[in-house]
Amino acid sequence: MVSGMVGKGTALGAALLAPLVALVPAQTVSAAPSTASTTVTRAASATPDLTALREALRSALALGAPGAMARVDDNGTVHKVTEGIGDRGTGRAMSADDRFRVGSVSKSFTSVVLLQLVDEGKLDLDAPVNTYLPGLLPDDRITVRHLLSHRSGLYDYTNDMFAATVPGFEAVRNRVFSNQELLDLSLAKPRTVQPGAAYSYSNTNFVVGGMLIEKLTGRSVATNFKKRIIKPLKLSSTFYVHPRTTIPGRHIKGYLRPDEAGAPLVDSTEQTVSWGQSAGAVISSAKDLNTFFSALNRGKVISEAQLSQMQQWTTVNSTQGYGLGLRRRDLSCGVSVYGHTGTVQGFYTFSFTSADGKRSVTSVANTSNNGSVLNTLPRTLEAVFCGAPVAKSARSTAPAEREDIAPDVVRD
């Protein structure tokens, strides 16, 4: 095993950014997002517990991940902790500086662009989607807000696409879908809930979100991400390259675990991610994601009014809420953190920031279809924001994590 390392330094480029003008299944219920704040105001611990952070990453390796890493940006101080292998072919060690596929963290990017369009008067969150894309959806009651809070009831087509893990992936690895093709896969199935009735996670919602972006701006999702988020925040390692299959520059390689016990891992690094697009195709780095979520939570990306909308929470389970393309996680020490999780074949990502945006962490394991590894990564949040490892008793009662692709398929 490659030995781990810890890096610590002073963050660069900490100047304030100018404001821009312009997996859980459906059984968790909440009739509507809460308009009352459920944010826990307790401050994060004085310092992150780097020993507990390393222990969490080592646990991910023990459970089958080739490598794992985390980067913490703590009010100008940077900590990097790495364990294991970033490239099994060359034996190169995991690096906290490398790029990777962020999966459903992409949903926060899509939501930000749509909320900027609300700020610009081009979009109404409570208007039916069919107002902007006439005849697209079979129910005029489905609003933009329902999409972004996973309350539309649109079936998640990835449940069928990836029910068989490796065969499903290989069938779409190099395929290029249109958004309409993906939506048609969803519409061929019954809706999961009535519009607005309950949280039911579905990648379909953010595919439609991408269609809205392109219709309202006349530009591609890639162009909007670059113009509205990537360039203003100077995210030098963030890309939306769909349908190209490669990750630009130095990157972590991702390894997909087959369904069959003992079968070898599959290098899943290169793919179009056309099955996900605006729901999951962003490439980034830990530094860039920490910058993004910190800026978002500090009101530097969307207006205060839209950030408030983004943070109206629908109940997911006893420790999580979902806003508009944003997750809230309530930790064992009474601290709430804000960001998103991501699953794409070969990569698990957790990227979250504190209420004031001053402390952020992105942790990554380069595997997927491994529920044990997935359920280990929340410990990185506990270590960084609570300053201590979560007790085993708390771990045993915590709701199980679900992957953000095929969220209704239970992975061992």
As annotated, the active-site residues are 104
| DSSP-based helix, strand, coil % in the chain, nearest 5 | 30, 20, 50
Alpha helix segments (H runs only) across 7-101 = 50-62
314 CB-near residues (< 8 Å, 6+ apart): 30, 32, 33, 34, 149, 150, 151, 199, 321, 322, 323
344 CB-near residues (< 8 Å, 6+ apart): 101, 102, 103, 104, 254, 273, 276, 280, 368, 405
Within 10 angstroms of residue 32's Cβ, the number of other Cβ atoms is 13
Rounded-to-integer distance, Cα 250 and Cα 272, Å: 18
Phi-psi region of 343 (alpha: psi -120 to 50; beta: other; left: phi over 0): beta
Question: In terms of C-beta density within 10 A (0-12 exposed, 13-18 middle, 19 or more buried), how is residue 225 classed?
Answer: buried
